[in-house]
Amino acid sequence: MQIGLPTWVIVATGLVMNVIAALMTNFVIDGLGEKAAVVEETQSSNNQLIQLTWQQVDALERRRETLLIILTTQEEGRELSKMLVSQLLSPFSDMTDTPLDMANINKIMLGIDQQQDLLRNKIDTLYLDNLQLADSYREIVSSISNYRNLALFLQILGLALIMARDLSRKPD
């Protein structure tokens, strides 16, 4: 059984399929690849921010320990220098003038706790953002895979149609 299509129509259809596959690869797949790269970069940036923020939380805990050591080893009635107190309480702008003594220890510890809570909330937010970005990345990679498969299918089918030209020649 023969199909009544001229050979040039079949070849032209094959060429069109190959051109569509090439354009799809060039524009759609590359565009999605750039999108995926942006998502990965954002995730990496968030991970760095999470690490830096954890370091800040840890630094505040070390500061707490230092303050407690200073307060427990400080001699009664002896005041610490203003410069030392100012450095120790520098992360807490509202406490830089607070005397460092046992009477103010609860206020200082509360300030450290509040600062750590803010930092932990920031970490939580960044982590949740990363989870959403991971989902988005998986969707983009899945789309890239689907488009690549479609482009490959179009190329193979297009080449098969182009090769049909050789099959349609009648032997002499």
Tens-digit pLDDT profile for residues 28-86: 999 999 999 999 999 999 999 999 999 999 999 998 898 888 877 776 666 666 666 66
- Tell me which residue of 170, 124, 165 sits closest to 13, measured CA to CA: 165
Least confident of 4-8, 50-54, 132-136: 4-8
Q: Which two tokens stand for residue 156?
A: 């193979």
pLDDT of amino acid 97:
64
Please say whether the beta carbons of 113 and 125 come within 8 A. no
* Own/partner long-range contacts of 65-74 (Cβ < 8 Å, ≥24 apart): 67/100, 67/105, 67/108, 68/105, 70/100, 71/100, 71/101, 71/102, 71/105, 74/101
Q: Taking the model in full, what pTM does it have?
A: 0.74
